[in-house]
Chains A and B, each alone.
Chain A
Amino acid sequence: MRGNFAKITKILSAGVVAAGLLASASAKAAEDTIKVGILHSLSGTMAISETTLKDVMLMLIDEQNAKGGLLGKKLEAVVVDPASNWPLFAEKARELISKDKVAAVFGCWTSVSRKSVLPVFSELDNILFYPVQYEGEESERNVFYTGAAPNQQAIPAVDYLMSADGGSVKRWVLEGTDYVYPRTTNKILEAYLKSKGVPAEDIMVNYTPFGFSDWQTEVSAIKKFGSAGKKTAVVSTVNGDANVPFYKELGNQGVKAEDIPVMAFSVGEEELAGLDTGPLVGHLAAWNYFESIDTPANKKFIDDWHKFIKNDKRTTNDPMEAHYIGFNMWVKAVEKAGTTDPDKVIDAMVGVSVPNLTGGYSTMMPNHHITKPVLIGEIQADGQFEAVSQTPGLVMGDEWSDYLPDSKDLISDWRAPLSCGNFNVATGKCGGKGTN
């Protein structure tokens, strides 16, 4: 039976690969186009989040073609489906670069999928745009991080909760799904809170498995922790599907935002779409973009999106804006370099500045992270967020956290002559704990 089971998994994965090959083979090859790879899961557990990003990329490419393409050529999207299967991400990335000869790839959502494709991108020397907020502690020459680093989301969010506006929170529950992003983020947050004088007994850290659906014990533990006479807040790095049952349980057990607010880093408009947000009004989220932001650029983006997807109920969210910024940056860098050759484009990328959707400009920094405003929003009864706080200026992404002992001396700068992703300012050497 055991042997048979191994055989079954082998047959299954072979079947999935074959299906993927068929799909990509149908993409026709034409000489006078520039190919752009889209590496997002269209099936499996992550399809819920990633399918939208595939659609937004197709929309952006369509729009660019309508404007006359790039360097006089049309853009052509090559869509592959890595099926929420981490090793398959690496295979599909290799296929996009070596077989389809794409000029750049936009893709990945989970950190583990990004880690799985990193070696492929550095070996074959291509470009990946990664649009999701992540735990930091990484800077690669071939990757541009358009999502938020911890200091562009987690730290300002905690600062807000500590401020008078946020309720002067004194006691903290760090609730997360058990994988690399929440664990690293919580490690950074714990160090940060302690540096602000929060005693260890006022911090509670708890993890739950992926797709967790029975939150009764956790929510009652939060209520219990919150009844110690000090203002308590929950910082949630709970991921994906587990959020809906978590919020339903909070609502049912009567945890009100005025008493114990929940600040989430992975809950956007898409996640709220499956929820009755009536009992959740006032719970918070920290992002760099909200659909409710009232700017002309955002209004146009939402209108275009509704027209493209032919459904005016579909929401927009932060990773979509990240792709919007990343794609426009890439277009600008290719125009600047006059070629799509990845080496030249990578050099041209640093310093490129494009408008974002919240009324400002985002710039690519030498550490391959971008500048963004940080917004804190409260959930409204209509399932949207309303911004209640915004950082005064743009925040620059800090890849190596200053609050972790391992990384506080590291910086990255991909411009010549340094060209290093993990330069140790204490020892003056490139290297050290960089490869993570």
Chain B
Amino acid sequence: MLLLRAIGLMLLLTMAGLTPSKAAEADLRASIGKFATATGFSATEAVVRELAASGDPAVERPLSALTDGNLYIRKADSQVFVGKESGNSIELLDPLSGENAAEAAKADLTKIKVNNGLRRVIRDALGTLTLRARDASVRLAAAMTMFKTPDAANIEPLDAAIAAEIDPSVKALFEQARAASVLVSDKPEADKLAAISVVAARGDRDALSLLTSVEANARGAVKEAATAAIGKINATLAVWDAGQNIWYGISLGSVLLLAAIGLAITFGVMGVINMAHGEMVMLGAYTTFVVQQVIRTSFPGLFDWSLVIALPLAFLVAGLVGLAIERGIIRFLYGRPLETLLATWGVSLVLQQAVRTIFGPTNQEVGNPSWMSGSFDVGQLAITWNRLWILVFALAVFGVLLYVMKRTAWGLQMRAVTANRRMAASMGIRTPWVDALTFALGSGIAGIAGVALSQIDNVSPNLGRGYIIDSFMVVVFGGVGNLWGTLVGAFSLGIVNKFLEPYAGAVLGKIVVLVLIILFIQKRPRGLFALKGRAVEA
């Protein structure tokens, strides 16, 4: 009997530890029920504040559901549920326990509306509630929110959290958040001065933003300390800004390189003015779209691999179209640059309209795989993953192409035909086929550039238009017929552009770059790395 009772007591105790006590739970349910009668954002906000004031971690579930727009009211009985979409109906979960409660059609439910103000209030509320969460990344997020929304009331829970924290990186953030809260509290001057040095040590834009508002409201020694700290942060940030411009320039350069590298073959090596080059890029992007569509409908698990799968397909699609263009049109026009220009311009219009007819004129959605989303920080520099991968990819494509041109038999034949067509023919090289394959290679590379560009630009029939001018600019600037010239040309144009942009603005910056290129071409008509020798005159 005693044993039974002891077990019963233990069970009760563990249950009390896991779920809120009955009375508290009833209170919470009553508060959550008020969502059903709240009209307007301010009324909903009052309910959120009431829930947050309970300090009960259990309110996290309904509040996060509310931010995500997943909190519903059942019209029949005004009950509040967390909804989970499953097909056409919505699965209703209990807002506190998260257990499956019912199912309902969309029409029988009202979604509780949220706006930015409400999301902010919830985020702040969740910040204090999740300070003791088990997951370190959740605690980290809580510390970041609390730093951005300092409040004197936060000091006490933060003190407790700092004492209990074991992860040093989270602890440091907690201390910064505490310092931020001290700055807006009415603590004595000495505490505030210490807090300023903690915040100043952080040294980023959020710290700057906080100190600027402190400086505006403070007096005496605190104001002086804040001013000094702001000056110091600004000085460091100026250095990082320069680094940021270089990174942005390199990143723009990699995009230019990708767009231009196929053209460096068709125009640079073969001398064909291919106005349909941009459309090859577009075809690559559309191939990515089709691949993702198939993956979305048939193999959702493979989504992160969609780009890898799209690469060879895009190369094939664009390469085959390029082959068809060369065999069908361009081979009759070698040595007649003007006619080639006109014919390929026509081809570009045909391809654009064809894509418009098949896929429609509107943008198509190409998703970013998870490894290409978001950013990471290097010091005060935010580097976005998609830009970094595009840079790596551009350099890889360049390396492979260089290898093909310099180290393979095919590359040798290509260069031989370019250097002296008749001599090459006499040596037994089938020049027409080399031409066709070279053009297909250039087009195929434009296609894989399209896969990468689909990650940062619109996938629309006009995609190629935006890149054709820039591509020609890079190839001409770098020196026609020289792959290294294209590389250097792309990166220098990118960096010059990004250094001008903050001072001159995007519009003027672009004009200045164009003028500089015109002046440069006047001085060196063959570009940065001019080809020398007989081939030039041929």
Whether B113 pairs with A47 at a CB distance below 8 angstroms is: no
Whether B216 is near chain A, meaning CB under 8 Å from some CB there, is yes
Interface residues of chain B: helix, strand, loop or mixed (majority): helix
CB neighbours of A221 from chain B (8 A): 502
Whether B507 pairs with A208 at a CB distance below 8 angstroms is: yes
Whether B203 is near chain A, meaning CB under 8 Å from some CB there, is no
Whether B91 is near chain A, meaning CB under 8 Å from some CB there, is no
Whether A282 pairs with B119 at a CB distance below 8 angstroms is: yes
Knowing A208-B507, A252-B375, A386-B113, the reply to whether A47 touches B461 (Cβ < 8 A) is yes
Interface size class of B (residues with CB under 8 A): 35 or more
CB neighbours of B245 from chain A (8 A): 217
Knowing A4-B338, A227-B209, the reply to whether A48 touches B361 (Cβ < 8 A) is yes
Knowing A167-B116, A206-B505, A241-B462, the reply to whether A213 touches B365 (Cβ < 8 A) is no
CB neighbours of A381 from chain B (8 A): 68-69
CB neighbours of B244 from chain A (8 A): 220
Knowing A209-B506, A229-B210, the reply to whether A254 touches B375 (Cβ < 8 A) is yes
Which 4 pairs between the two chains have the least Cβ-Cβ distance? A274-B363, A229-B213, A229-B212, A227-B205
> Which of B117, B244, B361, B457 has most A Cβ within 10 Å?
B361
Question: In chain A, residues 394-412, which have Cβ atoms closer than 8 Å to a Cβ of chain B?
Answer: none
CB neighbours of A388 from chain B (8 A): 41, 113, 115
Whether A228 pairs with B462 at a CB distance below 8 angstroms is: no
CB neighbours of A147 from chain B (8 A): none
Knowing A224-B205, A241-B462, A378-B115, the reply to whether A271 touches B387 (Cβ < 8 A) is no
B47-71 CB contact bits vs A (8 Å, 1 = yes)?
Answer: 0000000000000000000001100
Distance of A310 from chain B, by nearest CB (Å): 12
Whether A253 pairs with B206 at a CB distance below 8 angstroms is: no
Whether B271 is near chain A, meaning CB under 8 Å from some CB there, is no
Contact of B384 (CB < 8 Å), options: A253, A275, A281, A282: A253
Question: In chain B, residues 332-388, which have Cβ atoms closer than 8 Å to a Cβ of chain A?
Answer: 338, 341-342, 345, 349, 352-353, 356, 360-368, 373-375, 382, 384-387
Stretch at the interface among B164-172, B248-256, B415-423, B443-451: B248-256
Whether B314 is near chain A, meaning CB under 8 Å from some CB there, is no
Whether B123 is near chain A, meaning CB under 8 Å from some CB there, is yes
Nearest to A388 among chain B residues (CB) is: B115
Whether A43 pairs with B342 at a CB distance below 8 angstroms is: no
A77 to B445, CA, bound (A): 44
Whether A8 pairs with B362 at a CB distance below 8 angstroms is: no
CB neighbours of A208 from chain B (8 A): 506-507
Whether B498 is near chain A, meaning CB under 8 Å from some CB there, is yes
CB neighbours of A261 from chain B (8 A): 116
CB neighbours of B361 from chain A (8 A): 42, 47-48, 51-52
A208 to B497, CA, bound (A): 13
CB neighbours of A378 from chain B (8 A): 115-116
Distance of B478 from chain A, by nearest CB (Å): 19
A-B contacts at CB below 8 angstroms, number? 171
Whether B457 pairs with A245 at a CB distance below 8 angstroms is: yes
Whether B31 is near chain A, meaning CB under 8 Å from some CB there, is no
Whether A207 pairs with B506 at a CB distance below 8 angstroms is: yes
CB neighbours of A217 from chain B (8 A): 245, 248, 498, 501-502, 506
Question: In chain A, residues 85-138, which have Cβ atoms closer than 8 Å to a Cβ of chain B?
Answer: none
Nearest to B255 among chain A residues (CB) is: A214
Whether A47 pairs with B384 at a CB distance below 8 angstroms is: no
CB neighbours of B374 from chain A (8 A): 252, 254
Whether A216 pairs with B248 at a CB distance below 8 angstroms is: yes
Question: In chain A, residues 1-41, which have Cβ atoms closer than 8 Å to a Cβ of chain B?
Answer: 4, 8, 11-12
Whether A270 is near chain B, meaning CB under 8 Å from some CB there, is yes
Whether A47 pairs with B506 at a CB distance below 8 angstroms is: no
CB neighbours of A245 from chain B (8 A): 456-458
Distance of B404 from chain A, by nearest CB (Å): 29
Whether A228 pairs with B342 at a CB distance below 8 angstroms is: no
Chain A residues with a Cβ closer than 8 Å to the other chain, count: 65
Whether B365 pairs with A273 at a CB distance below 8 angstroms is: yes
Contact of B462 (CB < 8 Å), options: A45, A229, A259: A45
Nearest to B387 among chain A residues (CB) is: A216
A61-73 CB contact bits vs B (8 Å, 1 = yes)?
Answer: 0000000000000
CB neighbours of A52 from chain B (8 A): 361-362
Whether A223 pairs with B205 at a CB distance below 8 angstroms is: yes
Whether B510 is near chain A, meaning CB under 8 Å from some CB there, is yes
CB neighbours of B507 from chain A (8 A): 178, 207-209
Whether A165 pairs with B251 at a CB distance below 8 angstroms is: no
Whether B80 is near chain A, meaning CB under 8 Å from some CB there, is no
Whether B384 pairs with A213 at a CB distance below 8 angstroms is: no
Whether A312 is near chain B, meaning CB under 8 Å from some CB there, is no
CB neighbours of A43 from chain B (8 A): 349, 352-353, 356
Distance of B205 from chain A, by nearest CB (Å): 4
A257-270 CB contact bits vs B (8 Å, 1 = yes)?
Answer: 11101000000001
B425-469 CB contact bits vs A (8 Å, 1 = yes)?
Answer: 000000000000000000000000000000011111110011000
A332 to B341, CA, bound (A): 52
Whether A165 pairs with B41 at a CB distance below 8 angstroms is: yes
Question: In chain B, residues 139-163, which have Cβ atoms closer than 8 Å to a Cβ of chain A?
Answer: 148
Whether A342 is near chain B, meaning CB under 8 Å from some CB there, is no
Whether B120 is near chain A, meaning CB under 8 Å from some CB there, is yes
Whether A343 is near chain B, meaning CB under 8 Å from some CB there, is no
Whether B330 is near chain A, meaning CB under 8 Å from some CB there, is no
> Which of B115, B209, B213, B510 has most A Cβ within 10 Å?
B115
Whether A380 is near chain B, meaning CB under 8 Å from some CB there, is yes
Nearest to B251 among chain A residues (CB) is: A216
17 new A-B contacts at CB < 8 Å, known A47-B356, A211-B466: A4-B338, A8-B341, A48-B460, A51-B356, A51-B362, A165-B117, A166-B117, A220-B244, A221-B502, A244-B457, A248-B368, A248-B456, A251-B373, A252-B384, A274-B458, A378-B115, A388-B41
Nearest to B346 among chain A residues (CB) is: A15
Distance of B270 from chain A, by nearest CB (Å): 20
CB neighbours of B382 from chain A (8 A): 220, 253-254
CB neighbours of A223 from chain B (8 A): 205
A179-219 CB contact bits vs B (8 Å, 1 = yes)?
Answer: 00000000000000000000000000011110111101110
Knowing A214-B252, A216-B248, A241-B458, the reply to whether A276 touches B116 (Cβ < 8 A) is no
Distance of A434 from chain B, by nearest CB (Å): 29
Knowing A47-B461, A208-B507, A229-B209, the reply to whether A258 touches B123 (Cβ < 8 A) is yes
A259 to B501, CA, bound (A): 25
